[in-house]
Amino acid sequence: MKIIQNHQKPPFLSLTLLTATILSLLQLALSVDFLFNGFNDTALSLYGNATIQSRILTLTNDTTFSIGRALYPSKIPAKRHNSSYVLPFSTSFIFSMAPYKNTLPGHGLVFVFVPSTGIAGASSSQNLGFLNRTNDGKTDNHAFGVEFDVFKNEEFDDINDNHVGIDVNSLKSLVSRDAGYWPDESNGTDEKFFKKIKLNSGENYQVWIDYNDSLISVSMVKAGSKRPRFPLLSEKYNLSEVFFDEMYVGFTSSTGQLVQRHMILAWSFSNTNFSLSESLVTAGLPSFVLPKASFHKSKGFIIGVTLGGLFFIGFCALIVVLLIKRQRRRAKERAEMEDWELEYWPHRMTYQEIEEATKGFKEENVIGIGGNRKVYRGVLAGGAEIAVKRMSRENDGMREFLAEISSLGRLKHRNLVGLRGWCKREKGVFMLVYDYMENGSLDKRVYFECEESKMLGLEDRIRILKDVASGVLYLHEGWESKVLHRDIKASNVLLDKDMSGRLGDFGLARMHGHGQVASTTRVVGTVGYLAPEVVHNGRASAQTDVFGFGVLILEVMCGRRPIEEGKVPLVEWVWQLMAQGQLLDALDERLRAKGEFDKEQVEGVLYLGMLCANPDPSARPNMRQVVRVLMGKSGNEVHDAESEDMDAYLLDKTQNSEFWNGFSQSFGYGSHPTFEDIKQSISSSMSLSWSSTIVEGR
């Protein structure tokens, strides 16, 4: 008889094999690997200005204030289901930021994990198409990114304008540092070995971003070089509260007034194979570096020829200058004088006279402090009240001093602060003496922090705006040269004893002949009042002053500053209200609370402010047209030829869709007030016409 024995497997061994099989299947289900050496139209989901051209992902082009975003088409596993465990991942990509010739470049790109598709909740410019002003810093964003930023923004505590940072739910980076890498021969800490790279040079750079056991590491180097041994950034941070079980992954970037191309040439991603990046093709890639100009067009050659010519002219002029100096030497006072003092000496006042007026510059007479200057109140021997601005040579003090005495010192108009004279105590200290303005500056009487008893009413505000408009028109057309103020704002408008508005502070003013173009390309002024073209090319014009005056109208009527922390910029806010048909809501709420105001009058003035603050300089009126609107005569005197010309001008401007296109592109609205809206609200309520108004200096 044959005995057959039945050998059964122990139960625990079967359970172990089953568990291992399930874990393997789960690991396989959560595995994600993809590799793109170039892209086709179906490889990614594109949003905003993102396009794929010649197998290159181009996120932005030369369109201003735009966003480009590209995401892998489907969500990828980021955490184990119903677990706080974050899956490790490794990604690598090759990017290039390519500037345009003769154009200021900006702003940057971000590698992102986001919970949803599209670009809702993101803004352009310094927000990099990642988040926006209102949601930045909120934990419910569930957004992770590594930014490559070429614009230093104080709002986000950026370290410079060429840095890499790790962002979690905010553009204020957890950690950031200069873009670059540590050579392998370094120890990864000694700064003298660190190699900086310029992000927007047009070069191709390869980036590696790894996450494992809550450690985030970022490395980068020029494409074609091997991965650095030491990471650029290494930060311990658990992403379990940031990631959902599944997330979208990809890239986002933006432009503002500054523009450049942001391109991705290749990309790999894996949560299992950390060596997949080795399969990226790094050779034979196109270059986006701008070609260097020919020798004859190079700056060195031009500077050399220019300096040579100037040297020859200077040598020839030296003899003439020496002869002129010999004649002027006898005209100098016993106290040593600088050359510029000879031109402006008729307005010079003695130091003793000013010291006596201010009682020895006592601190109790200080009425203002700012930068390298103090302003004192004083009384001259004859009883006339004065304000004395005392400044030092540092921080462009000398330039501002000369700008004031060369412009305001020769200008006379009832709506400009009068400059009585100047004084030099020693080579490093200068003083400017003005008529004293008893009621201080305009900003102290329109903003919310001013006392109720000092707050200006609606009619007073409009009257002061008329005063300032007359003063600016005189600067542009009423004097022998055209004067550009370049810093029109409420704090530079002073109020005399009769509460008349006078424009002051000519420290940034520039003069040039009528019909000529200002030669300076230096960006100066106050943030919030700068016209877009000034930021772009630094060149000021009469139209940039008109833009500043438009912002002044809005801040005076609305009772708020152009830029305030946590609020939409003033011009954008007013445009949004106007596009929504709620323009009256922009009026200072304290004035609205009183309830006694002409609605059409208010709308008319706000419309005028928006006309002046149009982003397109060619669409703005000139100051003579602004003054005709604000200071026109009664409606019975409107029927002259010049009035008809003004009607035709505004009809052409306001009915042309391109007139409001700058606002629409910037703020996302398409509607605008019609010509009839503007003319009816201004003319009917304020008795304003397009008749000629003569504005002269007194």
Residue with tokens 């194979």: 273
* Residue 544: closest CA among 654, 622, 630: 622
Between β-strands 56-60 and 385-392, what pairing exists: parallel, antiparallel or unpaired?
unpaired
Whether the CB-CB separation of 369 and 383 falls below 8 Å is answered with no
Amino acid at site 578: M
Q: What is the DSSP letter of 79?
A: B
| Category of 470 on φ-ψ map: left (φ > 0), alpha (ψ -120 to 50) or beta | alpha
Give the 3-state secondary structure of residue 144.
Answer: strand
Instruction: Classify residue 126 by burial, with Cβ atoms within 10 Å: 0-12, 13-18, 19+.
Output: buried
Non-local CB neighbours of 54 within 8 Å, separated by 6+ positions: none
Dist. CA 470–CA 503, nearest whole Å: 10
Whether the CB-CB separation of 56 and 38 falls below 8 Å is answered with yes
Distances (CA, A) of 643 to 605, 625, 661: 19, 10, 26
Strand partners, 250: 71, 112
Q: Is 487 a catalytic residue?
A: yes
Dist. CA 90–CA 78, nearest whole Å: 12
Could you list the beta-strand ranges (E) of 457-597: 482-484, 493-495, 501-503, 510-512
| Torsions phi, psi for 48 (to 5 deg) | 65, -130
Dist. CA 585–CA 605, nearest whole Å: 13
Note if the bond before 413 is cis, omega within 30 degrees: no
Dist. CA 62–CA 259, nearest whole Å: 5
* Residue 398: closest CA among 341, 452, 453, 317: 341
**Residue 692's CB: how many other CB atoms inside 10 A?**
15
Dist. CA 472–CA 549, nearest whole Å: 9
For 265-302, the DSSP string reads: EEEEEESS-TTGGGGS--SS----PPPPPPGGGSHHHH
Helix, strand, coil fractions of the chain, as percent rounded to 5: 35, 20, 45
Whether the CB-CB separation of 405 and 375 falls below 8 Å is answered with no
Question: Of 136, 158, 167, 487, which residue is the catalytic one?
Answer: 487
Non-local CB neighbours of 79 within 8 Å, separated by 6+ positions: 85, 86, 87, 240, 243, 244, 245
Supply the residues annotated as catalytic.
487
